[in-house]
Structure 1
Amino acid sequence: MLLNITSRADHLPELSLWPTIPFIRGQDLCQYQDAYGQSRAQQAQEFSRELGALLQGGADPKQSVELLETVDKLIQQGRRQATSGFGMDMLLESSFKAALDRIYDEVHPKTRHISFFNPAPLNELVRELRNQKRQGYLDASLLKGLNAVAWGSYSYSPGCKGEVVAALHFETDKGQTFNFQARGLPESVMHTIASQAFQQFQKTHFPSMVTYRGQKLQLLGSPGAPIGEVSAPRKAEHACQSIQARLPTPGEYVFLSELGDWNGGINAAKGLWALSKERIWAPEMPHPSPVRTADEIHGADIRYVCVR
């Protein structure tokens, strides 16, 4: 799968994904565990216990051995039939797309940072679907600007309970790699991976540039972490000054909270946040004012971000 990437920040791309995600089947960990989960001695002991139970129940010795061998063959045959069919890659791809769209519909961010784009003519798509083929059309003119690849892998998980271990990988020509993995039933495992990918690419990454009252406001985070924590607002103010920045104003905290984690802002609607001049923004303490002095609040962690 090819991706069309436009830089959103210096370190994180926006992704426009090619509609086909190839999934490679890996080692069958269910069969592997069956084969190597026990030593030969343990397997022999288990077979002896099962045979002994049948003999104690009055079964004929020869028929008991044949019965155990037949049951084992039927189990192996059923597993081979379940894993030999085609379509697991289609299921994983389709469920990933559906889960990702559902997350975007629920959160509804202003700008979508992961999307799918199909440049193939519609008649080509219809022909491939009619022939039960996957979308693979790619014209040389479409390669311009495509600078990343993405692919997936899956394996039947140990335990033999119908689960798969699925992974999704993104690699850009700048050397960036993004990898997501989850374990679960085939019809639901990609929802976990879609959630991981959404959080990775949609959440605010610093620095984040937003427009506040017609002016550009750069959200820098803190010097050592995206969201800093201090015991006093003056420490946060000094930290921001060390990177030639400042603490947000109460109005800026409100605006950044309205943007939220998925639109370039932060979630500052709860907790305590540092303000300049030894003050604290306490949105959950609106009366008489959410702006409090440091003397009013003791023994609490105060969070902060720096802006410029």
Structure 2
Amino acid sequence: MKTTLTLLALFAAMSAQAQSSAPALWPTIPFVRGADLCQYQDAYSRSRSSLMREMGAQVKELVFLGATPEEALVPLVVIDSLISKNRALAAGGPGWDVTLEAAIKSSLDQMMREAAPRVRKIGFFNPGSVLDLLNNLREQRQRGPLDVRMLSRVSGVAWGTYSFASGCRGDIVLTVHVELRSGETFSFSGSGLPETAAHMVANRMFNAFQTTRFPSDVLLNSKRLTLVGTPAGPVTHAPTPADAERACVSMNARLPSAEEYEQLSMLGDWSGGVSLKHDIWVLAGGKVLAPDLRNPSPIRSVDEVRGQDLHFYCVR
């Protein structure tokens, strides 16, 4: 309940602020614990009669070894109690919030360092002072009281849920939801051991925010180029170059030149460009760009790449 009230207060304060251009989220990720699917499966995967038969078989085995029926029940009850107690200890406490948040942030930061994009489009921002942070750490809390002035300096908030997965092997089901000032909402999920699930969520967050969006503007040779996409989405393929050209004309746009394709590919998918990969790309005039066929030139006729998909996107 406390976490839910904190989230509501955070959303209310954010909605009162002006749109922020900074791609930064509130520095902590509140988590709400969901249903324990392990306990659910353990309780409902077998009928009451089958559980009684299993318990009866265990009692009979102990009696066969020399115990009285009363003595045989004691260790079974104690073991069952210890299992329940250990599960409660493992699942309880505030440590899960800290563990999951730290794992997601560290995985996301590692991906950023490895990709080295020109602009980070997702991250976490601490609007408070270092002294506030140290005081919160000393008191073992993630964040102090909400401050509207601090909220005005972030562009969104992330919150999540976790639950213990069925199978009772230590796996969790993890979700993270990102709410931006613009009203956009993104949801990401992962499952497996806690560190695996957190890495999956971080990877999906990275791809969703860092991948080039359409439409978007980019500077090439000191000129602004708008990546429009296609009528069917960001990047698609066409049966013929003529079909691709007509699709771009319908959007008041054109196909990129070979030089533009190459330069945008050098920017990469994480810095506002589009990687060529090993695909065939449509050029104006019925030609195509084949990045894997550079000798003598990557600009080829359609007949030379017959049978392969012809990819394209539009620019203006």
How high is the TM-score relative to the length of structure 2?
Answer: 0.88
Of the candidates 196, 201, 205, which is equivalent to residue 204 of structure 2?
196
Q: In structure 2, do the counterparts of structure 1 residues 122 and 176 end up closer, same or farther at CA, with 3 Å as the change threshold?
A: same
The answer (yes or no) to whether the contact 2:25–2:155 under 8 Å persists in 1 is: no
Give the distance between the partners of 1:147 and 1:129, measured in 2 at CA: 24
1:118-170 deviation line (CA, Å, top 9, x unaligned): 12122222222122222225433223365643211111222221222111111
Q: Does 1:36 align with 2:44?
A: yes
1:78-133 deviation line (CA, Å, top 9, x unaligned): 11121223311011111111111101011111100112211212222222212222
Identity %, equivalent residues:
42
Of the candidates 106, 109, 112, which is equivalent to residue 104 of structure 1?
112
How far the C-alpha of 1:63 sits from its partner, in A, is: 2.6
Q: In structure 2, do the counterparts of structure 1 residues 141 and 67 end up closer, same or farther at CA, with 3 Å as the change threshold?
A: closer
Give the distance between the partners of 2:243 and 2:203, measured in 1 at CA: 35
Name whichever of 122-131 and 138-147 sits farther off: 138-147
How far the C-alpha of 1:292 sits from its partner, in A, is: 0.5
Give the distance between the partners of 2:294 and 2:217, measured in 1 at CA: 28
Matched with 1:11 is none
How far the C-alpha of 1:281 sits from its partner, in A, is: 0.3
Give the distance between the partners of 1:288 and 1:62, measured in 2 at CA: 89
Q: Give the residue type in structure 2 aligned to 1:252.
A: E
Q: Does 1:257 align with 2:262?
A: no
Q: Following superposition of structure 1 onto structure 2, how do residues 1-308 of structure 1 map, counting pairs within 5 Å?
A: 6=20, 15-56=23-64, 59-144=67-152, 146=154, 148-308=156-316
Matched with 1:10 is none
Q: Give the residue type in structure 2 aligned to 1:100.
A: L
The answer (yes or no) to whether the contact 2:136–2:143 under 8 Å persists in 1 is: yes
How far the C-alpha of 1:196 sits from its partner, in A, is: 0.6
The answer (yes or no) to whether the contact 1:207–1:220 under 8 Å persists in 2 is: yes
| Structure 2 stretches lacking a partner, 5+ long | 1-6
Q: Give the residue type in structure 2 aligned to 1:75.
A: I
How far the C-alpha of 1:58 sits from its partner, in A, is: 5.4
1:238-271 deviation line (CA, Å, top 9, x unaligned): 1111111111111001011101111111111421
Q: Give the residue type in structure 2 aligned to 1:154.
A: Y
Q: In structure 2, do the counterparts of structure 1 residues 295 and 183 end up closer, same or farther at CA, with 3 Å as the change threshold?
A: closer
Q: In structure 2, do the counterparts of structure 1 residues 114 and 272 end up closer, same or farther at CA, with 3 Å as the change threshold?
A: same
How far the C-alpha of 1:6 sits from its partner, in A, is: 4.0
Q: Give the residue type in structure 2 aligned to 1:45.
A: R
Give the distance between the partners of 1:26 and 1:260, measured in 2 at CA: 38
The answer (yes or no) to whether the contact 2:25–2:156 under 8 Å persists in 1 is: no
Give the distance between the partners of 1:139 and 1:73, measured in 2 at CA: 45
The answer (yes or no) to whether the contact 2:20–2:154 under 8 Å persists in 1 is: no
Name whichever of 203-212 and 59-68 sits farther off: 59-68
SS of residue matched to 2:190: strand
1:179-199 deviation line (CA, Å, top 9, x unaligned): 111112223321111111111
The answer (yes or no) to whether the contact 1:29–1:155 under 8 Å persists in 2 is: yes
SS of residue matched to 2:173: strand
Give the distance between the partners of 1:108 and 1:243, measured in 2 at CA: 33
Give the distance between the partners of 1:237 and 1:278, measured in 2 at CA: 9
The answer (yes or no) to whether the contact 1:202–1:263 under 8 Å persists in 2 is: yes
SS of residue matched to 1:82: helix
Q: Give the residue type in structure 2 aligned to 1:227.
A: V
> How many residues get paired?
302
SS of residue matched to 1:42: helix
**Greater percentage in strand:** 1
* CA RMSD across the alignment: 2.1
How high is the TM-score relative to the length of structure 1?
Answer: 0.90
How far the C-alpha of 1:44 sits from its partner, in A, is: 1.6
Q: In structure 2, do the counterparts of structure 1 residues 162 and 295 end up closer, same or farther at CA, with 3 Å as the change threshold?
A: closer
**Greater percentage in helix:** 2
